[in-house]
Amino acid sequence: MIKLKYRTGLKDMPSYDVVERDWNIKVNANESNLNMPPMVEERLMARLSSVAFNRYPNEQVDTLAEQIAANFNLGKENVLIANGSSEILEKLFFAFGGRGRKIVYPQPSFSMYKIYAKFSASTGVPVDLKDDYTFDPVAFVDAVKENKATLAVICSPNNPTGTKIPLADIEYVAKNIDCAFAVDEAYVEFDGGTAVGLMRDYPHMMIARTFSKAYGLASARVGYLLADKKIIEMVGKACMPYHVNVLSAITADIVYQMRDEYVPRIQMSIAERKRMSELLKQIDGMEIYPSVTNFILVKHPQAVEINKYLESLGIGVRSFGNAPRLENCLRISMGTREENDTWYKAIKDFVEGNVQ
């Protein structure tokens, strides 16, 4: 075997570390536990029969961009469609990062920021959230300035803490930094408090969104960036030709057209989050972080053992191992009411010692 010369640093890159198996109850990835509403599926199936599979995608992606732009009173040139907001984020780190450059983001937050920083050969600079996981705008701005960062990223509502960054704090950051500023709004549909309105006054601001969470379309990998048209043009250069496939584009297009169909399930998820937060408080030693998303972060001294027990029952929640500042934390996505009752009972039984 020839000794292959992989790119410098690749060997030490972590793999995306979610352990998947055939769970009985899967509440570990903040997905929707409901598949497409039947009316949406029907329309998609009809549309599939008219796809020109032999052609590269073109107008399908444009149509989606136009539709999204119209919803925000923006132009098509302010929207970049991509393979999930993951691709958006990766390209942002690529476009604004590079050797010798620094990119600032909160900690704990979405685990991929650190990895995209490495991938883009940039230096990631995590800024600690406060002890209660709320955002510290002053510390964040100071870090951006001290490091002369070229990109600042925040996540609101934040994954995995579920906490939201107040709009006033986001504006404070926008006003006081002089580099590209991206807000990851992967969970905003569960909350409504978007920062899109700030983009008008702060053209260095960008918003990343996804179809994977509230719209239950994780399988199709579709996300988008809203930004000034120069930013869209530059970040677009970092994408390969025809990077978004037709099947995903038309699926997202139909889902977006029919997004009213998703309102009841989004509301159900919010109601479940409230119900489960209250119930979790009744478990001895359980600390619950207030969430505005479709998941709840909890801390418990026996988190590792609880997770093992849940695994033995085929229930997958997200445990963070030794990730910074997430010791003894578990993140649980809201499933159906029955699923939630099941994992809750399992946790309660375990903590109360009702398990062999």
Ligand X SMILES: *Cc1c(COP(=O)(O)O)cnc(C)c1O
To the nearest whole angstrom, how small is the minimum distance from the Cβ of residue 295 to ligand X? Answer: 9
Residue 274, number of CB atoms within 10 A of its CB: 13
Closer to ligand X by Cβ: residue 298 or 346: 298
Token pair for 295 = 């998941």
Contacts within 8 Å (CB) and 24+ apart, 273-278 = 273/190, 273/334, 275/340, 276/332, 276/334, 276/340, 276/344
To the nearest whole angstrom, how small is the minimum distance from the Cβ of residue 91 to ligand X? Answer: 12
To the nearest whole angstrom, how small is the minimum distance from the Cβ of residue 248 to ligand X? Answer: 11
Closer to ligand X by Cβ: residue 283 or 335: 335
Closer to ligand X by Cβ: residue 57 or 157: 157
Separation between Cα atoms, residue 97 and residue 119, nearest integer Å: 10
Q: What is the DSSP letter of 237?
A: H
To the nearest whole angstrom, how small is the minimum distance from the Cβ of residue 109 to ligand X? Answer: 7
Residue 211, Cα to own-chain centre: how many angstroms? 10
Closer to ligand X by Cβ: residue 69 or 218: 218
Give the closest residue to 307 by CA, choosing from 327, 337, 292.
327
To the nearest whole angstrom, how small is the minimum distance from the Cβ of residue 49 to ligand X? Answer: 27
Closer to ligand X by Cβ: residue 28 or 30: 30
To the nearest whole angstrom, how small is the minimum distance from the Cβ of residue 267 to ligand X? Answer: 20
At residue 102, the 3 state secondary structure works out as: strand
Closer to ligand X by Cβ: residue 35 or 312: 35
Query: Cβ(226)–Cβ(207) under 8 Å?
Result: yes
Contacts within 8 Å (CB) and 24+ apart, 63-66 = 63/249, 63/253, 64/222, 64/249, 64/252, 64/253, 64/256, 65/224
Binding site for ligand X (CB under 6 A): 30, 84-86, 110, 155, 159, 184, 186, 210, 212-213, 218, 223
Closer to ligand X by Cβ: residue 71 or 312: 71
To the nearest whole angstrom, how small is the minimum distance from the Cβ of residue 171 to ligand X? Answer: 20
Helices (H) and strands (E) in the chain, counts: 11, 13
Distance, first Cα to last Cα, the chain: 50
Separation between Cα atoms, residue 36 and residue 10, nearest integer Å: 37
